[in-house]
Structure 1
Amino acid sequence: MTSERQPALAGRFDILPLESVLFGPGASGSLAAECEKRAVNRLLVLASASLARAIDIRERFNAATGGRVAAVFTGGRPHVPHDVVLAAARMAREVGADGVLSVGGGSVIDLGKAVVLCLAEGIDSSAALFRWKVVVSPPGKKENPVSTAAKVPHFAVATTLSAGEFTHIIGITDTTRGAKDLYLSPDFVPRVVAHDPELATHTPRSLWASTGIKAVDHAVETLCSPRAQPVTDALAADALRRLTRYLPVSVRDAGDLRATGQCQMAAWQSVFGVTNVSLGLSHGIAHQLGGRLGVPHGVGSCVLLPTVLEYHAEYTRGPQQVVAEILAESTGQSGKLGAPELLRRFIAGLGLPTRLREAGVGRDELGAIAQHTMGDLMAAAAAGPPLGEGDIEKILNQAW
């Protein structure tokens, strides 16, 4: 009796030039050595306005960096509009910043990446910024200008679970078009990331919960990716286990530093190796919900991921079974309910919306959202055959 040998594993795995991750209580207080190592002496600190109201940003991070704070910018807005990018870059030039420190959620961290790009390429206008965006032309043709100029070091202290600190992607909103554009270059990823559960206690619980679902979305779409790899499969599955176990605990009790730290670790796992897989339609549509209507990315994941899974069930049956098993184990419910329904129940249990209408999205907006999604890089990489504008509008109606 003979058996046919299976093909050996073969492929390629690229790693972003992230240099260090500091994690655990107090991790954000030990950045001085990281600045010293990279010869950084004048930092522009970008901080979310809500965090700046809770703590003295300049005092806290001047101490953490050994007196290296040159200026603090708290004028950021969700989804990173052009005018905010240009204003922050202008401040960086005015104070002679030789490094950037982002403290906050995904929008603040994306703003830090954008400032680094502006400093490297001399960008001082929207027209100049546009030259670096990714352009997608259906059916999936992509133009991706890659910035090769030297970048000042970027340090990121994350206070949500959106995990933008681990990616090479910037989302910037063109408010004229009401659309979010993506910018990609491997060296957009911050050099040093700090995850400090103590600092994350200041994050509003609704924001913490919704960005936790964004991390769930990363993990699920990684598992469902047509380019899935063994390393990313293992980490995404473990991220999902940690999130479904510890996210509800950390939402109930912001002071539970163990649960918070477990969620932060899961957020990192959920996007590890993101350059090697493709995220999908839930992310692509959520970008445009944010750029056009201001829907937070985490809320976008809450209302879209279950419906996208239903729509792509034929092409992602195996990964969805894995997702269902993990959710069933964590929640004590039957895996026979399927991944989409188990996700909806988990999301609703956190007090978050599961339908577009619950997130304030009018049905009259769905056509415009579908149109903008056709130009989104992640939507173009979704599982299954290429989608048209009508397909995306159908998904939006199902999610409404």
Structure 2
Amino acid sequence: MSRRDFIAAASVAGLLPAVTGTTLADTTQSASTMWAPAKALDAAMDDAVASGRIVGTSVVAAQNGNIVYQRAAGFKDREAREPAGIDDVFRLASMTKPIVCVTALALVDAGRLTIDDPVTRWLPDFRPKLTDGRQPIITIRHLLTHTAGLGYGFLEPEDGSYHRLKISDGLDRSGLSLGENVARIASAPLLFEPGTAWHYSVAIDVLGAVIEQVTGTTLAQAVRAIVTGPLGMTSVDFIASAARPPATPYGDASPEPVRMTEPFTLKFGRSGIVYSPARAFDEAAFFSGGVGMVGTAHDYLRFAEAMRTGGPGIIRPETVAAMTQNAIGDLQVSAGPGFGWGLGVQILLDPAKAGSPVTAGAWNWSGVYGTNFWVDPAKATSVVVLTNTAVAGMTGEFPLAIRRAVYAA
């Protein structure tokens, strides 16, 4: 089925909203605007670039439905002295996850999927076991909330089961199909009884395989038809365009970030992450629902704002509300006290406990290529911060400085 045919078929089946895009009024008049936090944001970006923490970055913010800040700093390609641009494409890594989760939730809204479906309804062979041999039921809810008992290779020691089984985290060029990788995930022992703990994981890659079964098409086609196409997110896809390549990626190092090789290993978590920058152009690579997409800050802002305003034409307001509220009770997430998890995004529950300047009720996520975003419903504000520097653009001083700048005014 062609992309156009699938979009038409999805529309007829009631899977697609009757929208053609999300319009954000652009009230910016220059690189920096009269928005109160603008000067502080400029300073945070300039300091990060001048200090060498970040090579290049693109930041876009909206408030009350208007773009109030947009600026790029640093380099798209440092060695070529190519400056970063506001419409540069970046590797989104785990900022892919919320988009794929919304795709699944749209299928729930359309009655094609239920949140408490066992995964085996759609993937009959996906039956991972606990270490005692028991085979518990894993549901779509468990996948969305990272409570399925699955893991990530970089979160375990180098002799862990995900490494031994050569499970791909979606960032490398494994040569596996999505089905083959999901089979390997199913063969790894579960870390805990589903629903009893939270652990960041490849769950959204498994969810991507479920979406393929529900829609009868590829994950890329389903996401494009259900979310990115209707929102006009033309740059956001699983395959980068050779005519519009993503910013050159760099990895944290001292005294300055180093240009990524192919492949590139960065120590992170309990072991490390193997990056393959060329994967973004590899049409044979499986579509990773967890980390596979590329896109611009402007286009990602369309998604963030659509969800902030109730998911018009994509998912129901009630579904957005469920997605952006804590769905895991008192279970602890890796970010520490003050945070919870919804149906695909992290939720800020207690700013004081979290040590965050952001308002309670805000939701966010980030990516290991150096990206992050957050939505603050109470302030009617969405901010997208994309960099080409892993992982300094995702965690540490730079993202915290950006948040402080926005809330200091």
Q: Normalising to structure 2: TM-score of the pair?
A: 0.29
Q: Normalising to structure 1: TM-score of the pair?
A: 0.29
The structure whose residues are more often helix, as a share, is 1
Q: Which has the higher contact order (CA 8 A, sep 6+)?
A: 2
